[in-house]
Amino acid sequence: WRRQAALAAAREDEEEKELRQRFMAPPVSGLRELRRRRRELRSRMELLIMETQAEVCRALTTLDPGASFAVDSWERKEGGGGISCVLQDGEVFEKAGVNVSVVSGLLSEEAAQQMRSRGKSLKAKDGKLPFCAMGVSSVIHPKNPHVPTMHFNYRYFEIEEADGTKQWWFGGGTDLTPTYLNEEDAVHFHKTLKEACDKHDPKLYPKYKKWCDDYFYIKHRGERRGIGGIFFDDMDSPSKEEVFQFVKSCAKAVVPCYIPIVKKHCHDSFTPEEKLWQQLRRGRYVEFNLVYDRGTKFGLLTPGSRIESILMSLPLTARWEYMHTPLESSKEAEILEVLRNPKDWVH
């Protein structure tokens, strides 16, 4: 039995070593704890977001070999923590962040109110709602105005109510924000996401494509933030396992939907005027994230949240000009038309 125990311990050490090499940093919950609870969905979700973070970071550094990610592991005194990976001032990427967070504790009243406003029925005990939330979130701002900005986020949320029952749901999405319209890129991006959705149900892509167009709407400008993708929230059916597998397919589609577009355009030539238009569009990106984005609002309302990680989505540079209007029939006017009237890219 001693020999068997030694072999089992050696196998565990080898597994731990392999996992360490796969990730950007040790997981928040610890490798041994994740392995001990490896059949539980929370552990599988944490492994998925860690793997997604590493896959995306490695794909980006392959395209920008002179740059590297600063890896910052942090703890939250109320429970949990996260890993922020941020690249700045590369040759290809001006700023790219890929963050993981795994937090738990008690939901603040402001955050609970935000959820109730979405139709969630939450029964607190003595005003307290224990919760667990985890996810991977990324925003990538390239230097070249012909390479689009890309955002993705996949998350899992669990709340324990007063009677001990647990509510759970998944949310997330992937969307593209080009400075200039390239129809071939738009079709590739949407088709890749549609294929990921279609593996589970052909009804999902059209539903979540529309949700994305509606969600990333800058109401005070009358335009979308970008050309969309997919977006969903509060997804809790048909079953926990089926939704997890769907989320996994979406997360695995991130690299193939975006990296080919970056490769195609990262060495395109551009003019100072095109760079200026990129900066103005970045201003719109900031406006949406600070005024409307639910994830940003929730993060800012969560006690002990890490502000630097929440605001990682903001670009390094942006610009606002008073009453800027592009010329009719220009390339700048072309993208605005699509942002005001979303297109069907896959039919």
Q: Which amino acid is at 120?
A: K
Distance CA 313, CA 37 (A): 32
> 10 Å Cβ neighbour count for 264?
15
**CA nearest to 103, candidates 312, 305, 240:** 305
Q: For residue 332, what are the contacts with CB-CB under 8 A and spacing of at least 6?
A: 180, 277, 326
Residue 100 backbone zone (phi > 0: left; psi -120 to 50: alpha; other: beta): beta
**Annotated catalytic residue within 146, 151, 188, 265:** 151
Provide the residue-wise pLDDT of the chain in tens; the chain has 347 residues: 777 766 766 666 666 666 667 899 999 998 888 888 888 899 999 999 999 999 999 999 999 999 999 999 999 888 999 999 999 999 999 999 999 999 988 876 667 666 656 666 666 666 678 888 999 999 999 999 999 999 999 999 988 877 777 889 999 999 999 999 999 999 999 999 999 999 999 999 999 999 999 999 999 999 999 999 999 999 999 999 999 999 999 999 999 999 999 999 999 999 999 999 999 999 999 999 999 998 888 788 777 778 888 899 999 999 999 999 999 999 999 999 999 999 999 98
Beta strands in 24-146 (DSSP E): 70-75, 80-88, 93-106, 130-142
3-state percent helix, strand, coil for the chain, nearest multiple of 5: 45, 25, 30
151 a catalytic residue:
yes
Distance CA 83, CA 20 (A): 14
Distance CA 154, CA 47 (A): 13
**CA nearest to 253, candidates 338, 178, 176, 184:** 176
Domains of the chain, first to last: 1-340 (3.40.1500.10)
Distance CA 20, CA 15 (A): 9
Q: Are 188 and 260 contacting, i.e. CB atoms less than 8 angstroms apart?
A: yes
Q: Are 177 and 151 contacting, i.e. CB atoms less than 8 angstroms apart?
A: yes
Distance CA 169, CA 178 (A): 30
> 10 Å Cβ neighbour count for 121?
8
